[in-house]
Protein backbone atom coordinates (compact mmCIF):
# COMPACT_ATOMS: atom_id res chain seq x y z
CA UNK A 1 0.00 0.00 0.00
CA UNK A 2 2.75 2.45 0.93
CA UNK A 3 4.59 1.74 -2.31
CA UNK A 4 1.41 2.50 -4.24
CA UNK A 5 1.09 5.87 -2.50
CA UNK A 6 4.69 6.72 -3.26
CA UNK A 7 4.02 5.95 -6.92
CA UNK A 8 0.68 7.77 -7.30
CA UNK A 9 1.46 11.00 -5.41
CA UNK A 10 4.15 12.25 -7.84
CA UNK A 11 1.87 11.32 -10.74
CA UNK A 12 -1.02 13.30 -9.28
CA UNK A 13 1.18 16.35 -8.71
CA UNK A 14 2.53 16.16 -12.27
CA UNK A 15 -1.03 16.08 -13.66
CA UNK A 16 -2.05 19.05 -11.50
CA UNK A 17 0.98 21.04 -12.64
CA UNK A 18 0.15 20.35 -16.27
CA UNK A 19 -3.46 21.54 -15.80
CA UNK A 20 -2.34 24.77 -14.06
CA UNK A 21 0.23 25.48 -16.73
CA UNK A 22 -2.31 24.95 -19.51
CA UNK A 23 -4.85 27.31 -17.87
CA UNK A 24 -2.52 30.15 -16.84
CA UNK A 25 0.40 29.83 -19.21
CA UNK A 26 2.70 29.91 -16.16
CA UNK A 27 4.31 27.10 -14.18
CA UNK A 28 3.15 26.71 -10.56
CA UNK A 29 5.22 28.71 -8.05
CA UNK A 30 7.86 26.72 -6.24
CA UNK A 31 7.92 26.73 -2.50
CA UNK A 32 10.93 28.70 -1.22
CA UNK A 33 12.08 30.86 1.63
CA UNK A 34 10.69 34.41 1.29
CA UNK A 35 13.27 36.89 -0.02
CA UNK A 36 14.38 39.64 2.34
CA UNK A 37 12.67 42.98 1.99
CA UNK A 38 14.38 45.61 -0.13
CA UNK A 39 14.88 47.81 2.90
CA UNK A 40 16.80 45.06 4.65
CA UNK A 41 19.29 44.99 1.79
CA UNK A 42 19.93 48.74 1.83
CA UNK A 43 22.94 50.29 3.53
CA UNK A 44 22.25 51.91 6.86
CA UNK A 45 23.89 55.06 8.13
CA UNK A 46 25.97 52.87 10.44
CA UNK A 47 27.41 50.85 7.55
CA UNK A 48 28.12 54.04 5.63
CA UNK A 49 29.85 55.58 8.63
CA UNK A 50 32.02 52.54 9.21
CA UNK A 51 32.56 50.26 12.18
CA UNK A 52 34.95 52.67 13.89
CA UNK A 53 32.65 55.68 13.63
CA UNK A 54 32.24 57.46 16.95
CA UNK A 55 29.00 59.10 17.97
CA UNK A 56 28.89 62.86 18.17
CA UNK A 57 26.40 65.67 18.90
CA UNK A 58 23.51 65.69 16.46
CA UNK A 59 23.65 61.99 15.57
CA UNK A 60 20.27 60.23 15.58
CA UNK A 61 20.21 56.65 16.84
CA UNK A 62 17.67 53.89 17.42
CA UNK A 63 18.23 51.75 20.51
CA UNK A 64 16.64 48.28 20.52
CA UNK A 65 16.63 45.80 23.39
CA UNK A 66 15.98 42.16 22.51
CA UNK A 67 12.56 40.92 23.69
CA UNK A 68 11.92 44.26 25.42
CA UNK A 69 10.20 46.56 22.89
CA UNK A 70 9.18 48.95 25.68
CA UNK A 71 12.85 49.81 26.12
CA UNK A 72 13.38 50.62 22.45
CA UNK A 73 13.80 54.32 21.78
CA UNK A 74 14.88 56.76 19.09
CA UNK A 75 17.12 59.50 20.43
CA UNK A 76 19.46 62.28 19.38
CA UNK A 77 22.90 62.74 20.89
CA UNK A 78 22.90 66.09 22.66
CA UNK A 79 25.60 68.73 22.51
CA UNK A 80 26.98 67.30 25.74
CA UNK A 81 27.22 63.87 24.12
CA UNK A 82 24.43 62.16 26.10
CA UNK A 83 20.98 60.69 25.39
CA UNK A 84 18.01 60.38 27.71
CA UNK A 85 17.09 56.71 28.12
CA UNK A 86 13.86 55.41 29.73
CA UNK A 87 14.13 54.41 33.40
CA UNK A 88 17.86 55.19 33.36
CA UNK A 89 18.22 58.87 32.59
CA UNK A 90 21.12 60.51 30.79
CA UNK A 91 23.66 58.10 29.31
CA UNK A 92 26.95 59.48 27.98
CA UNK A 93 27.49 58.12 24.45
CA UNK A 94 29.47 60.90 22.75
CA UNK A 95 32.86 59.73 21.51
CA UNK A 96 31.94 56.04 21.72
CA UNK A 97 31.79 53.58 18.83
CA UNK A 98 28.50 51.80 18.16
CA UNK A 99 29.58 48.64 19.98
CA UNK A 100 30.88 50.65 22.93
CA UNK A 101 27.59 52.57 23.12
CA UNK A 102 25.66 49.30 23.12
CA UNK A 103 27.77 48.05 26.03
CA UNK A 104 27.31 51.37 27.86
CA UNK A 105 23.50 51.15 27.68
CA UNK A 106 23.52 47.46 28.62
CA UNK A 107 25.63 48.27 31.67
CA UNK A 108 23.23 51.07 32.63
CA UNK A 109 20.27 48.66 32.43
CA UNK A 110 22.09 46.14 34.65
CA UNK A 111 23.15 48.79 37.14
CA UNK A 112 19.57 50.05 37.44
CA UNK A 113 18.37 46.43 38.01
CA UNK A 114 16.05 46.66 35.04
CA UNK A 115 17.45 43.67 33.12
CA UNK A 116 19.98 41.06 34.17
CA UNK A 117 21.36 40.23 30.73
CA UNK A 118 20.21 42.91 28.27
CA UNK A 119 21.03 42.48 24.61
CA UNK A 120 21.24 45.97 23.13
CA UNK A 121 21.47 46.89 19.47
CA UNK A 122 22.02 50.45 18.20
CA UNK A 123 21.26 51.57 14.65
CA UNK A 124 22.81 54.85 13.50
CA UNK A 125 20.01 56.57 11.58
CA UNK A 126 21.41 60.03 10.77
CA UNK A 127 25.02 61.15 10.84
CA UNK A 128 25.20 64.77 11.92
CA UNK A 129 27.85 64.79 14.60
CA UNK A 130 31.59 64.57 14.02
CA UNK A 131 31.40 66.89 11.06
CA UNK A 132 33.97 69.01 9.29
CA UNK A 133 33.24 72.26 7.44
CA UNK A 134 34.86 72.92 4.06
CA UNK A 135 34.48 76.55 3.03
CA UNK A 136 35.77 79.06 0.51
CA UNK A 137 36.92 78.35 -3.02
CA UNK A 138 35.85 74.71 -3.35
CA UNK A 139 33.37 73.15 -5.76
CA UNK A 140 30.94 71.91 -3.08
CA UNK A 141 31.32 73.88 0.14
CA UNK A 142 29.43 72.57 3.16
CA UNK A 143 29.60 70.23 6.13
CA UNK A 144 30.78 66.65 5.76
CA UNK A 145 30.72 63.78 8.29
CA UNK A 146 33.91 62.15 9.50
CA UNK A 147 32.93 58.63 8.47
CA UNK A 148 36.03 57.07 10.03
CA UNK A 149 38.61 58.10 12.59
CA UNK A 150 41.43 58.58 10.06
CA UNK A 151 39.95 60.99 7.50
CA UNK A 152 42.69 63.24 6.15
CA UNK A 153 42.76 66.65 4.48
CA UNK A 154 43.06 65.14 0.99
CA UNK A 155 40.00 62.93 1.60
CA UNK A 156 37.85 65.87 2.71
CA UNK A 157 39.07 68.10 -0.11
CA UNK A 158 38.11 65.39 -2.60
CA UNK A 159 34.67 65.07 -0.97
CA UNK A 160 34.17 68.81 -1.53
CA UNK A 161 34.93 68.43 -5.24
CA UNK A 162 38.37 70.01 -5.17
CA UNK A 163 39.48 73.62 -5.50
CA UNK A 164 37.85 76.03 -7.97
CA UNK A 165 39.97 77.69 -10.70
CA UNK A 166 40.08 80.87 -8.60
CA UNK A 167 41.18 79.03 -5.44
CA UNK A 168 44.53 79.42 -3.74
CA UNK A 169 47.24 76.77 -3.58
CA UNK A 170 47.01 76.62 0.21
CA UNK A 171 44.22 75.95 2.68
CA UNK A 172 43.86 76.67 6.36
CA UNK A 173 42.81 73.96 8.82
CA UNK A 174 41.52 75.34 12.11
CA UNK A 175 39.96 73.65 15.11
CA UNK A 176 40.99 72.38 18.52
CA UNK A 177 43.51 69.77 19.66
CA UNK A 178 43.67 68.71 23.30
CA UNK A 179 41.38 71.61 24.21
CA UNK A 180 43.67 74.21 22.63
CA UNK A 181 43.14 76.26 19.44
CA UNK A 182 44.72 74.63 16.39
CA UNK A 183 45.65 76.18 13.04
CA UNK A 184 47.72 74.78 10.17
CA UNK A 185 48.51 75.92 6.64
CA UNK A 186 48.43 73.09 4.10
CA UNK A 187 50.13 73.09 0.70
CA UNK A 188 47.43 71.73 -1.64
CA UNK A 189 49.62 70.68 -4.62
CA UNK A 190 51.87 68.74 -2.24
CA UNK A 191 48.88 66.60 -1.20
CA UNK A 192 48.59 65.10 -4.67
CA UNK A 193 52.19 65.14 -5.91
CA UNK A 194 53.64 62.49 -3.65
CA UNK A 195 55.22 65.00 -1.27
CA UNK A 196 52.55 65.11 1.43
CA UNK A 197 54.92 65.26 4.37
CA UNK A 198 52.99 66.50 7.39
CA UNK A 199 50.47 68.38 5.22
CA UNK A 200 47.91 65.57 4.97
CA UNK A 201 46.94 65.62 8.63
CA UNK A 202 44.15 63.59 10.23
CA UNK A 203 41.08 65.75 10.81
CA UNK A 204 39.17 66.03 14.07
CA UNK A 205 35.46 66.73 14.71
CA UNK A 206 34.66 70.42 14.39
CA UNK A 207 37.60 71.24 12.12
CA UNK A 208 37.16 73.90 9.42
CA UNK A 209 38.99 73.81 6.10
CA UNK A 210 39.13 77.15 4.30
CA UNK A 211 40.46 77.85 0.81
CA UNK A 212 40.92 81.55 0.10
CA UNK A 213 40.87 83.22 -3.30
CA UNK A 214 44.14 82.97 -5.15
CA UNK A 215 46.31 86.13 -5.22
CA UNK A 216 45.82 88.18 -8.39
CA UNK A 217 47.81 90.48 -10.61
CA UNK A 218 46.37 92.93 -13.13
CA UNK A 219 47.39 93.74 -16.66
CA UNK A 220 46.07 96.63 -18.75
CA UNK A 221 47.04 99.00 -21.52
CA UNK A 222 48.03 97.58 -24.90
CA UNK A 223 47.47 93.95 -23.89
CA UNK A 224 45.42 91.48 -25.90
CA UNK A 225 43.35 90.39 -22.89
CA UNK A 226 43.58 92.96 -20.10
CA UNK A 227 42.14 92.10 -16.70
CA UNK A 228 42.88 90.30 -13.42
CA UNK A 229 44.65 86.92 -13.43
CA UNK A 230 45.61 84.31 -10.88
CA UNK A 231 49.27 84.31 -9.90
CA UNK A 232 50.72 80.88 -10.51
CA UNK A 233 53.50 79.66 -8.28
CA UNK A 234 56.84 81.18 -9.37
CA UNK A 235 55.25 83.35 -12.06
CA UNK A 236 57.52 85.86 -13.84
CA UNK A 237 56.69 89.09 -15.69
CA UNK A 238 57.10 87.27 -19.01
CA UNK A 239 54.57 84.61 -17.95
CA UNK A 240 52.20 87.30 -16.70
CA UNK A 241 52.40 89.07 -20.05
CA UNK A 242 51.63 85.77 -21.78
CA UNK A 243 48.56 85.34 -19.55
CA UNK A 244 47.25 88.59 -20.96
CA UNK A 245 47.74 87.36 -24.51
CA UNK A 246 50.84 89.45 -25.10
CA UNK A 247 50.95 93.01 -26.43
CA UNK A 248 48.67 94.26 -29.19
CA UNK A 249 50.00 95.46 -32.55
CA UNK A 250 50.33 98.89 -30.99
CA UNK A 251 51.96 97.67 -27.80
CA UNK A 252 55.54 96.76 -26.97
CA UNK A 253 56.85 94.06 -24.66
CA UNK A 254 59.91 96.25 -24.09
CA UNK A 255 57.81 99.13 -22.72
CA UNK A 256 56.29 97.72 -19.54
CA UNK A 257 55.58 99.46 -16.29
CA UNK A 258 54.96 97.70 -13.01
CA UNK A 259 53.00 99.38 -10.24
CA UNK A 260 53.53 97.71 -6.85
CA UNK A 261 52.27 98.77 -3.44
CA UNK A 262 55.04 98.80 -0.87
CA UNK A 263 54.86 97.95 2.83
CA UNK A 264 54.17 101.61 3.63
CA UNK A 265 51.14 101.65 1.34
CA UNK A 266 52.79 103.78 -1.35
CA UNK A 267 52.71 102.69 -5.00
CA UNK A 268 56.13 102.33 -6.61
CA UNK A 269 56.42 102.35 -10.42
CA UNK A 270 59.29 100.46 -12.06
CA UNK A 271 60.28 99.11 -15.46
CA UNK A 272 60.51 95.38 -14.75
CA UNK A 273 62.68 92.75 -16.38
CA UNK A 274 61.01 89.72 -17.94
CA UNK A 275 62.54 87.45 -15.31
CA UNK A 276 61.29 89.46 -12.32
CA UNK A 277 58.76 87.64 -10.10
CA UNK A 278 55.15 88.80 -9.95
CA UNK A 279 53.68 89.54 -6.54
CA UNK A 280 50.04 89.72 -5.37
CA UNK A 281 48.41 92.99 -6.33
CA UNK A 282 50.94 93.90 -9.02
CA UNK A 283 49.60 96.03 -11.89
CA UNK A 284 51.35 95.54 -15.21
CA UNK A 285 50.91 98.30 -17.79
CA UNK A 286 51.75 97.63 -21.45
CA UNK A 287 52.65 100.88 -23.14
CA UNK A 288 52.42 101.76 -26.81
CA UNK A 289 55.38 101.17 -29.06
CA UNK A 290 57.47 104.19 -30.03
CA UNK A 291 57.40 103.23 -33.69
The contacts of residue 102 (CB under 8 Å, 6+ apart) are 120, 121, 122
Whole-number pLDDT of residue 1: 45
Give the pLDDT means over successive 10-residue stretches in the chain (291 positions). Answer: 44 46 44 35 45 79 92 89 89 90 93 91 82 94 83 92 93 90 92 76 91 95 94 94 94 93 92 95 92 70
In order, the DSSP letters of 59-119 are -EEEEEETT-GGG-EEEE--TTSEEEETTTEEEE-TT-BHHHHHHHHHHHHHHTTS-SS--
Domain boundary residue among 195, 213, 231?
213
Whole-number pLDDT of residue 108: 92
CA angle centred on 123, ends 118 and 126, rounded to 5°:
145
Q: Answer whether 116's CB lies under 8 Å from 107's CB.
A: no
- 1 domain-assigned: no
CATH code of the domain containing 193:
3.10.560.10
Write out the residue range of the structural domain in which residue 209 sits: 131-213
Asked whether residue 207 falls in the same domain as residue 220, the answer is: no
Q: Answer whether 183's CB lies under 8 Å from 174's CB.
A: yes
Dist. CA 115–CA 13, nearest whole Å: 53
Counted domains in the chain: 3
Whole-number pLDDT of residue 11: 46
- 23 domain-assigned: no
Amino acid sequence: MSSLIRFTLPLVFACWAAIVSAQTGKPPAATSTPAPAAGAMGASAASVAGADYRLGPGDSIKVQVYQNPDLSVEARVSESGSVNYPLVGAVKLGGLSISEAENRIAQALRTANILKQPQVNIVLQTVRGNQVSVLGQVQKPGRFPLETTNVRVSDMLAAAGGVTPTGDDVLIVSGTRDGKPFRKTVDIPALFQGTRGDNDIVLAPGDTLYVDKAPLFYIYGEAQKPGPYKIERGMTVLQALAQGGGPTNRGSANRLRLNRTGPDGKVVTTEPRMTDPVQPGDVLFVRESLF
